[in-house]
Amino acid sequence: MNPTPDPPSPNVSAEATPLRRRLTDRMRGDLRLAVITLYAASTLVTIGPFAIYRLVSGQILVGLADAFIVLVFCSLAALAWRPNWTRAVANLLAVVAAAAVVAVVHFLGLSYMWAFSCLVGNFLMADRYAALGINVLMVVIIGLEPGLFASNTDRATFVAVAGMISLLSLIFASRVDQQRSRLTELAERDGLTGALNRRSLNHDLRSLHERLDDQSATHCLVLIDLDNFKHLNDRFGHEAGDRILQELTRYVDGNTRASDRFYRYGGEEFVLLLANTSLDHARQVVTKLGRDFPERVPSPGGAATFSAGITLLRSEETVETWLKRADRCLLTAKQLGKNRVEVDPTP
């Protein structure tokens, strides 16, 4: 039933992938994590030598402060690699960075120039509004520091330059977020229908397979195929076929939960991933979708229908096996007359 060639097996163990490649792929997929990691590395490279020099030259207090800052930054960066911790760590790291700048300026008498790198880094790393509040507070505290500036003109210059850097950093960070969101959407979705694409399906199934042993929840995979689609294309043209594919995507997205995921698997085949759903409930959901679909989506060739095969995901199987079992159920539905739902009887 699969109209497109099978991609390489998505069920590749993590151990088979070199560590450096896995780390690189993770940072490519998460800009915030990449910024945190580079921020910590920059702190190690730039402040680390100062810490060593000051400790060796007898400036023990300043040297310990520098070493402590490096240690905190690197520790938080390590925590950011834990799943679901990255965003919280990014905001915390922005607070720590600003506090560190204020501390070294106020207590150790170091240059306020360190504030400028912190302004840029916070906007690239933390949530924009959090970074804005943190940066404003840092600039105000440093700007009000008595005896730090030679004149009020220097003080006003510092505030003006800090404001300009913050504004440019905010604009740049906002633009980067918008472009990355757009690129992510283009990479994850099918260009014709707007459904998630096969690349997203492989990624999601891999992630689900890795977590399946750690939870008792059940998940169902549904393989859906439009009936008589080739006949529709041949008789009424590809524009009519494309419209049915698009309408199916809108219909399923509008009649399933936000947690459910709908993918275009290839040609007129789609996959619906129903999280935390039993086989019985999945059958009810898909049966209702199939029953109402012809009424909701008019077709020039008569009623538009689809057949579906449903299978329960099992941790002891590979991702390929999940798809093959669903495909066998779909084939059975086709052979028994189409416009029907078949459930894999394997418990």
297-306 confidence digits (pLDDT tens):
888 877 889 9
Contact 112, 148 (CB under 8 A): yes
Confidence of residue 24 (pLDDT cuts 50, 70, 90): confident
269 part of the active site: no
Res 252 pLDDT > 80: yes
Sign for the CA dihedral angle at 83, 204, 191, 272 comes to: negative
DSSP state of 311: E
pLDDT band at residue 134 under the 50/70/90 scheme: very high
Closest by alpha carbon to 102, among 61, 141, 69, 131?
Answer: 141
DSSP state of 19: H
Hey, which residues does 306 pair with through a beta bridge? 226
pLDDT of residue 267: 92
Percent of the chain predicted with pLDDT > 90: 60
pLDDT tens for each residue of 52-109: 999 999 999 889 988 998 999 999 999 999 878 999 999 999 999 999 999 989 887 8
**Euclidean distance between CA atoms 162 and 85, whole angstroms:** 30
Class level of CATH domain 198-343:
alpha beta
**Is residue 84 left, alpha or beta, with left meaning phi > 0 and alpha meaning psi from -120 to 50?**
left
Which tens digits make up the pLDDT trace of 211-232?
776 556 789 999 999 999 998 8
What CA–CA distance (Å, rounded) separates 219 from 261? 12
Residue 185 confidence (pLDDT) above 50: yes
Q: Is the pLDDT of residue 293 over 50?
A: yes
pLDDT value for 207: 84
Which runs of E-coded beta strand occur in the chain? 220-226, 261-266, 269-274, 306-312, 341-343
What is the four-CA torsion angle of 59, 65, 71, 73, rounded to 10 degrees?
-130
Sign of CA dihedral 252, 254, 259, 262: positive
Q: How far apart are CA 2 and CA 143, in angstroms?
A: 66
Angle between helix 238-254 and 229-236 (nearest 10): 130
The DSSP output letter for 15 is G
Percent of the chain with pLDDT over 70: 93
For the chain, domain boundaries: 14-188, 198-343
| Cα–Cα distance, 142 to 111 (Å, whole number) | 11
On the question of pLDDT at 281 being above 70, the answer is: yes
Q: Assign 57 to helix, strand or coil.
A: coil
Residue bearing tokens 């919280």: 88
Give me 282's structure tokens: 């999945």
Q: Which of 15, 210, 247, 268 is catalytic?
A: 268
Rounded Cα distance between 307 and 305, Å, is: 7
pLDDT in tens, 93-127: 999 999 999 998 988 788 899 899 899 989 988 99
